[in-house]
């Protein structure tokens, strides 16, 4: 009698816990489907001018943005942020070559020529990779937001220096647990792609005029801030032009031994970019 009561109580508690887990799973699934339906209705038609990459590449400059629309993990982004673009990076120009600074969870960069069926992956967290290689093997769509005018020498140097610092010693990309904490408003040491872009833009003085730092928008809010930055006045009379979709029409080739520069963005480990002006 004395043993049976605790066992029955434990069984009831376990059953209640199972019911709670099932209810939460169903609720989260319903919310996800609802949010995805909202996303599809919101972006049922999204149009932007399209340009060949070979036409735009020579005019890309440090501080321009590249925004991605994924085809593989877009639903997760659609449910969480409700932004059309699912990923972002900042462009860095070194002479005739352009690189992209971004944060990601060690995504595939390109097929590994030495291992058929395998991929070369980017560094987990912040990384800097050749733009042409990045775009050539990306399976979704990508858009460029160009600055109306080039950055000044000091701002450009500060942006490149911070991008290289984050690549070498920056915070990790958020884990599933850190994403949950971020959505709930808790701060973690991690930084996702839009937070990474916000940090670089803040350092370069490219946060919209009249507002605070882009990083202050928070874990979720910063996504909309970065995706909606086009047309907003920036300090010094600068501004980002509306997004333009790029169509890849170039072949990436390994760089020659003499290509490089003073910034770490030219000391990449992931293949190469096209040397010369397209």
Q: Classify burial at 22, counting beta carbons within 10 Å of its beta carbon; exposed 0-12, middle 13-18, buried 19 or more.
A: exposed
- What are 94's two structure tokens? 């070194």
Strands (E), 60-122: 65-69, 87-94, 97-105, 108-111, 119-121
Interior/surface letters 238-247, b for 16+ CB within 10 angstroms, e for the rest: bbbeebebbe
Per-residue pLDDT tens over the stretch 32-83: 666 666 666 666 667 789 999 999 999 999 999 999 988 765 556 656 666 8
Q: Which of 80, 201, 82, 196 lies closest to 145, judged by CA? A: 201
What b/e readout covers 266-276, taking b as 16+ CB neighbours within 10 angstroms?
bebebbbbbee
pLDDT in tens, 127-183: 999 999 999 999 889 999 999 999 999 999 999 999 999 999 889 999 988 988 888
In whole numbers, what is the pLDDT of the chain averaged over residues?
84
State pLDDT tens for residues 249-275.
987 444 444 443 344 454 444 443 333
What is the rounded CA–CA span in Å between residue 193 and residue 85? 11
Q: Parse the chain into domains and list their residue ranges.
A: 1-45, 50-266
Superfamily in which the 50-266 domain is placed by CATH: endopeptidase domain like (from Nostoc punctiforme) (3.90.1720.10)
Check: pTM over 0.75? Answer yes or no.
Answer: yes
DSSP3 helix / strand / coil % (the chain, rounded to 5):
40, 20, 40
């Amino acid at each position: 009698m004395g043993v049976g009561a605790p066992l029955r109580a434990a069984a009831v508690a376990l059953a209640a816990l199972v019911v709670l887990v099932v209810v939460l799973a169903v609720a989260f699934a319903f919310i996800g489907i609802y949010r995805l339906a909202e996303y599809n209705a919101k972006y049922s038609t999204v149009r932007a001018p399209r340009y060949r990459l070979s036409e735009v590449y020579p005019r890309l400059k440090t501080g321009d943005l590249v925004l991605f629309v994924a085809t593989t993990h877009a639903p997760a982004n659609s449910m969480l942020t409700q932004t059309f673009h699912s990923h972002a990076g900042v462009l860095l120009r070194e002479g005739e070559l352009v690189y992209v600074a971004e944060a990601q969870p060690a995504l595939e960069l390109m097929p590994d020529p030495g291992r058929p069926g395998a991929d070369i992956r980017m560094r987990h967290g912040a990384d800097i990779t050749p733009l042409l290689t990045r775009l050539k093997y990306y399976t979704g769509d990508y858009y460029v937001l160009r600055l109306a005018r080039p950055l000044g020498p000091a701002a450009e140097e500060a942006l490149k220096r911070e991008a290289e610092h984050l690549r070498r010693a920056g915070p990790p990309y958020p884990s599933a647990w850190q994403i949950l904490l971020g959505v709930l408003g808790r701060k973690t040491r991690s930084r996702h792609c839009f937070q990474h872009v916000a940090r670089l833009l803040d350092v370069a003085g490219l946060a919209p005029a009249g507002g605070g730092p882009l990083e202050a928008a928070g874990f979720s809010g910063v996504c909309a801030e970065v995706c909606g930055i086009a047309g907003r006045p920036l300090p010094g009379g600068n501004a980002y032009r509306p997004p333009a979709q790029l169509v890849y029409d170039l072949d990436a080739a390994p760089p020659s031994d003499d290509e490089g520069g003073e910034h770490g963005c030219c000391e990449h480990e992931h293949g190469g970019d096209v040397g010369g002006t397209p």
